[in-house]
Amino acid sequence: MTTTAPTESPGREDRQAVIDRYRVEREKRLRPDGNDQYVEVAGAFAHYVDDPYVERVEREPVTDEVTFAFVGGGFSGLVAGARLKQAGVDSVRIVEKGGDFGGTWYWNRYPGAQCDTHSFVYMPLLEETGHVPTEKYAHAPEILDHCRRIGHHFDLYDDALFQTEVKSIEWDDDAARWIVRTDRGDAFRAKYVGLGTGPLHRPKLPGIPGIETFEGHAFHTSRWDYDYTGGDPAGAPLDRLGDKRVAIIGTGATAVQCVPHLARACRELYVFQRTPSSVDVRDNQPTDMEWFEREVAGEGWQKRWMENFCTLQTGGFADDDLVGDGWTDIARRVRDRVIAKATDGITADLLTEAFDDADFEKMDEIRARVDEVVDDPATASALKAWYRQLCKRPTFHDEYLQAYNEPGVTLVDTDGQGVERITPTGVVVAGREYEVDCIVYASGFEVGTSYQRRSGFDLTGRDGRTLAEHWDDGMRTMHGIHVHGFPNAFVVGSTQAGNLLSNYPHNLSEAGRTIATVVAHAEAEGAERVEVTAEAEQAWVDLVVGSPMLFPGASLECTPGYYNNEGQPIDDRARQSFAGYPGGPVAFFQFIDAWRRSGAFDGLTFT
């Protein structure tokens, strides 16, 4: 094993030593190629995105007309579809590349997959569908089932097109309709379109020299090959790996969840690490239904929980911490410090100091936990995360660190440099080849590439102008949803809106409500077109770009990753795609709620 020299966690009095270490570790990892280091899953690598879960079903092309067509059958499409149906829009067609609803949860069926934000706030439409998650952090099969439940509950299956990739969407201004074309030969019309293809949906591979030469078996975690590994998404042992030497490349949130399963099953497991994740306590628990009925159930319970989590997680104050987990823990620590010290009111300096203190304390604990759990001191040292907690997606797990105590498991730390080379027979780090039968790429998803590259289509709006052209200098929207020149079209995401990263579906829920409210109003008014004005779009872009409210992980002082443009300077163009509402998520959700309720629809024209 190659590791950095063991370094113990400095105590709080050694704050400067920690800051210096953060800088050293970050600088090791900076590379000039930034996002270009990754290989696009295309050409010779295209098979990495084949659907391993269902057979292709042939069907006739559709050429009809629907009221609303939505691209993407994940949480975005399901929530928007549900809200549209509730608002009385019956004709909703979801077009989805996968063989069923689910999006992320359709594709990511790797062993151990589960949500890492409390299911009560993470899984949408619980109250509406009557489902109570069985665990604090539900596992992937339950979440996928819930997606299907939403689909059935709101009759979204009736008109859905699965295994279908949109190829183009064009605005016909005379007819005031969109024409949607797909890879199945469909050419149907829609009065409105929604785009919800997700921020992390296109797998990427590391640009490791020789990656194309490997002659063993290989797959990406988002297309788990159970035929090869044995087992199933419900957790059955990976019983075909008993005689296999397996490499997993990447140690992000996905690897943290699947490594324990591989560790139990493989003859030998080599975990290739560039940057360790911070791994906090998970403490998953089954839902106590009596407690739920007694303490939680009641009209509006899920909204209450989501708002409470959002408030606490983004530095706000609330009487109760309903979720009470690792996410809200840091907020609690900040709050307690502020209350203790705020004798003369709350100042920005006080907040910064409280945040810094809480963060250093938290990361000290997370590093200390590694020593407590991992037997081998060199391995423990290499597993310690030297950056602020929100620089990378924080992870929570009670079996990941323990996996390194299994006899067949080796951590191959690359000291921030990444894997050196892949050969026909194995993986090379620091000149040593680790021979393996299989490589599992836990290398994440494209972020920061163009919308068109990730989605595989472009939108052509009024006057033949494409969305790619309109966004050439950076994303431009009002509320993250409406785009000038693209009437009756709605973008669903988090940027230029709430930008709540800890509970991404909260952004999607709000977007779904907004779309349904706008469409219902347009229909009630008999409008053919609804469009944001150029002035309103510009004013919104100015507002979000002019604000300092980038999420903490986007700081260039952070270790490189997709949160901060791989450590590359964030130019105006990139900033537009990172930016959120100035006051943060809570302020945005309050703003957009008031905007919807006002009925004035400021910034939009209905004609």
Write out the residues near ligand NDP by the rule CB under 6 A: 29, 114-116, 200, 206, 208, 249-255, 257, 272, 274-275, 393, 418-419, 442-445, 561-562
Q: Which is nearer to ligand NDP, 195 or 419 (CB)?
A: 419
Q: How far is the CB of 491 from ligand NDP (least distance, A)?
A: 20
Three-class secondary structure assignment of 301-326: HHHHHHHHHHHHHCCCCCCCCCCCCH
Strand partners, 271: 248, 411
Task: Name the residue nearer to ligand NDP (CB basis): 187 or 200.
Answer: 200
Residue 356 main-chain phi, psi, to 5 deg? -60, -50
CA angle 95, 179, 55 (to 5 degrees): 30
**Residue 418, Ramachandran bin (φ over 0: left; ψ between -120 and 50: alpha; else beta):** left
Q: Which is nearer to ligand NDP, 115 or 323 (CB)?
A: 115
Q: DSSP letter at 531?
A: E
CA 94 – CA 162 distance, rounded (Å): 8
Tokens 């836990």, residue? 442
How far, in Å, are 290, 300, 303, 305, 506 from residue 296 at the CA level? 10, 10, 11, 9, 19
Which residues are bridge partners to 247 per DSSP? 270, 439
CB-CB contact of 412 with 270 (8 Å): yes
At residue 71, φ and ψ (nearest 5 deg) are -90, 115
| Closest approach of ligand NDP to the CB of residue 184, in Å | 29
Element (H, E) at 469: helix 467-470
Helix (H, G, I), strand (E, B) or coil at 185: coil
Compare residues 66 and 330 and give the one whose CB is closer to ligand NDP: 330
Nearer to ligand NDP, 81 or 416 (CB): 416
Q: Of 62 and 121, which CB lies nearer to ligand NDP in the complex structure?
A: 121
Q: How far is the CB of 111 from ligand NDP (least distance, A)?
A: 12
Q: How far is the CB of 273 from ligand NDP (least distance, A)?
A: 7
Q: What's the min distance (Å) between Cβ of 163 and ligand NDP?
A: 24
User: With respect to ligand NDP, which residue has the nearer C-beta, 244 or 274?
Assistant: 274
Beta carbon of residue 203, minimum distance to ligand NDP (angstroms, whole number): 8
Which is nearer to ligand NDP, 430 or 534 (by Cβ)? 430
Query: Residues 6 or more apart from 47 whose CB is under 8 A from it?
Result: none
Least distance CB 413 / ligand NDP (angstroms)? 10
Handedness of CA 103, 104, 110, 113 (dihedral sign): negative
For 25-46, letters b (16+ CB in 10 Å) and e give: bbebbeeeeebeebbebeeebe
Alpha carbon distance 364, 384 (integer Å): 10
Q: Which two tokens stand for residue 237?
A: 């042992």
Q: Closest CB to ligand NDP among 560 and 603?
A: 560
Residue at token pair 């929207």: 477
- 221 close to 432: Cβ distance less than 8 angstroms: no
Of 246 and 442, which CB lies nearer to ligand NDP in the complex structure? 442
Interatomic CA distance for residues 307 and 407, integer angstroms: 45
What is the Cα Rg of the chain in Å?
Answer: 24
Minimum distance, C-beta of residue 566 to ligand NDP, in the bound complex (Å): 8
Nearest approach in angstroms of CB 7 to ligand NDP is 18
Q: How far is the CB of 239 from ligand NDP (least distance, A)?
A: 24
Spatial neighbors of 421 by CB under 8 A, at least 6 apart, are 208, 209, 210, 427, 428
**Shortest Cβ 504–ligand NDP spacing (Å):** 7
How far is 338 from 336, CA to CA, in rounded Å? 5
Q: Is 547 exposed, middle or buried (0-12, 13-18, 19+ CB in 10 A)?
A: middle
**Cα end-to-end span (Å), the chain:** 67
Smallest distance, ligand NDP to C-beta of residue 253, A = 4
Nearest one of 428, 403, 379 to 276, comparing CA atoms: 379
Q: Smaller CB distance to ligand NDP: residue 286 or 599? A: 286
Query: Closest separation between CB of residue 462 and ligand NDP, Å?
Result: 35
Nearer to ligand NDP, 222 or 460 (CB): 222
How many Cα atoms sit within 13 Å of 426 on the Cβ side? 14
Nearer to ligand NDP, 104 or 308 (CB): 104
Instruction: Give the nearest distance from C-beta 212 to ligand NDP in angstroms.
Output: 14
Instruction: Return the number of the residue (119 or 488) whose C-beta is nearest ligand NDP.
Output: 119
